[in-house]
Amino acid sequence: MSSSNTRHVPVMLQRCLDMLAPALAEPGAVVVDCTLGLGGHSEALLSTFPAARLIGLDRDTSALKLAGERLAPYGDRATLVHAVYDELPDVLERLGVPRVQGVLFDLGVSSMQLDEADRGFAYAQDAPLDMRMDQTTGMSAAEVLNSYAPGELVRILRAYGEEKQAKRIVSAIVREREKEPFTNSARLVELIRDALPQAAKRTGGNPAKRTFQALRIEVNGELSVLERAVPNAVQALAVGGRIAVLSYHSLEDRLVKQVFAAGAANTAPPGLPVVPEQYQPRLKLLTRGAELPTEEEIAENRRAAPARLRGAERIREDNA
Q: How far is CA 239 from CA 62, 96, 100, 143, 320, in A?
A: 34, 18, 9, 45, 15
Question: pLDDT tens for residues 231-263?
Answer: 999 999 999 999 999 999 888 999 999 999 999
Q: Confirm whether pTM is higher than 0.95.
A: no
Lowest mean pLDDT among 35-39, 206-210, 233-237, 297-301: 206-210
Question: pLDDT tens for residues 267-300?
Answer: 888 888 888 888 899 999 999 999 999 999 999 8
Q: How far is CA 305 from CA 66, 174, 295, in A?
A: 25, 34, 9
pLDDT at 140 over 70: yes
pLDDT at 66 over 60: yes
C-alpha span between 285 and 309 (Å, rounded) = 12
The answer to whether 46 and 21 are in contact (CB under 8 A) is no
Q: What residue numbers does the annotated binding site cover?
A: 39-41, 58, 85, 106, 113
Ordered domains of the chain (ranges, CATH)? 2-112+222-314 (3.40.50.150), 123-220 (1.10.150.170)
DSSP 286: S
The answer to whether 135 and 39 are in contact (CB under 8 A) is no
Burial of 259 (0-12, 13-18, 19+ CB in 10 A): buried
The predicted pLDDT at position 319 comes to 59
Backbone phi, psi, residue 151, to 5°: -60, -35
Q: What residue numbers does the annotated binding site for S-adenosyl-L-methionine cover?
A: 39-41, 58, 85, 106, 113
